[in-house]
Amino acid sequence: MLSTMQDVPLLISRILTHGSTIHGSSQVTTWTGEPEPHRRTYAEIGARAAQLAHALGDDLGVARDDRIATLMWNNAEHVEAYFAIPSMGAVLHTLNLRLPPEQLIWIVHHAADRVVIANGSLLPLLAPLLPHLKTLEHVIVSGPGDRAPLTEAAATAGVRVHEYEELLAGKPTAYDWPELDERQAAAMCYTSGTTGDPKGVVYSHRSVYLHSMQVNMAESMGLTDRDTSLVVVPQFHVNAWGLPHATFMTGVNLLMPDRFLQPAPLAEMIERERPTHAAAVPTIWQGLLGELTANPREVSSLTQVTIGGSACPPALMEAFDRLGMRVCHAWGMTETSPLGTVARPPAHAVGTDEEFGYRITQGRFPTGVEARLTGPGGERLPWDGRSAGELEVRGPWIAAAYYNGPDGEPQRPEDKFTEDGWLKTGDVGTISPDGFLTLTDRAKDVIKSGGEWISSVELENALMAHPAVAEAAVVAVPDEKWGERPLATVVLREGADAGFETLRTFLQDEAKIAKWQLPERWTILPAVPKTSVGKFDKKVLRRQYAAGELEITEI
């Protein structure tokens, strides 16, 4: 028996139409570094998205399924591209501007991008790549920046250069968006390529639509048109965690920082524009905390902070609590669109001693994400809060494969997908009986010492709770007796001083780390190396240790 319901495709164009009409007065505010930021309403975004679609199709010949790349900061024009490109039937491909040039070249070629829309300030990054981008035909430049680096390179590469505003000028402000198959490709992101070549994840209109609905659930970010969200997480990082699409569903105002991602301008944005919500990785919040400590500002509007990308140290969460900014932990990855869990404590724990314990987990799984734990022998592990195994997930916004394998078909490598289709996340952790995930490490980062596992994340969080420590990363290094032992790399706060014996004692006495888990090898760094999305780059630390580049103290 079939239902009597209408079969209306779940399309990004419907999110755009809804946001630009029902919530037409909501705003996208782009920080400019000038006395007044740039403001554009959702209605104006909708009209300009239509103009962009006309320009891409009529002037540049963009057809259905063509890949259109963006090399852009978080700003209103990037939001316009987010909607125009997939709504017309093409595929949005956000390029990670922090990747090394050779990886950007590989990714553009692998995706076969025909067009790239780039911010003017990023042309010095793009221009040297053009001779190597064989599939690229057009570059569209948006915003201020010296065009000179691009002119000669484009001429040599045979690439046509266009001005964003000139392309849009005079184009119709309405577009007859096609009725697409909701399973058609809408957008694609590539993993950061920390091991091997980056891998392409292709999102469908359906997956984006359903993921956006979940982002808006009260047990997730739960934002409304009374909110303003400061979107610090880059739009090239898993579609800014789905926020541009989700906000057009509910009319949430967007505050976009453009290239002004340093702690001081972020603090000024919060004080002047008074956002109620913000989203970024922990390293951003570490920097902002230091800025607000040194230069206090009126930031009381910001009552909700979503932190994901890597584990948030409990000490950082407590510090923001004292500022009135409630941190909500979340977990996800490129392959999960990215929303996988959100740490909203259950009703029975709110206001009790249990509440903080729930908040420092990665969070609870929503309806759309099924999860299971697998032990080293392939056995299924119970949700008892104690049994640790690799997390596997599946759901309507979870990747089932990677884009364009060597034979042109989707890639399903055995180390990433199970025979029955679940995604192997590479994360090791436990799940409580009520569905809260606690990650203890990445499978590749867990320290295997004498047949036992040591959590690098637990050691890092404990070290960063010490008042003298700004950052800490712990990696496994070879040991003749135990196989592997932890190496602690520490960044001290400015003006602070703490000896390794002091930190080791702190781990044992205050953090209650078992003696056998305590690091013997220590080093001080000016900064922990980061990946392109702001996570600790532990492969760099392991390589530096192996090459003898770190000054190691053994205690």
Q: Which residues are known to be catalytic?
A: 191, 335, 448, 453
CA–CA distance, 123 with 146 (Å, rounded to integer)? 8
Map 503-538 to HEC letters: HHHHHHHCCCCCHHHCCCEEEECCCCCECCCCCECH
SS3 content of the chain, % helix, strand, coil (to 5): 30, 25, 45
554: buried, middle or exposed (CB in 10 Å: 19+, 13-18, 0-12)?
exposed
- Give Cα 255 to chain centroid, integer Å: 17
Task: Identify the bridge partners of residue 140 per DSSP, sorted by sequence position.
Answer: 117, 162
Q: Where are the alpha helices (DSSP H) in 422-499?
A: 456-463
d(CA 162, CA 62): 14
Is residue 245 within 8 Å of residue 239, measured between CB atoms? yes
CA distance 91 to 203: 9
- Contact by Cβ (8 Å): 276, 221: no
Find, among 543, 535, 390, the residue nearest to 478 by Cα. Answer: 543
Q: Give the SS3 label for residue 553.
A: strand
- Beta-bridged to residue 429, according to DSSP, are 389, 439
Give the residue carrying structure tokens 């995930």: 437
Distance of CA 297 to the CA centre of its chain: 27
Give the Cα separation of 227 and 256 in Å (integer): 14
What sign has the CA pseudo-torsion 213, 346, 270, 532? negative
Count CA atoms closer than 13 A to 462's CA, side-chain side. 23
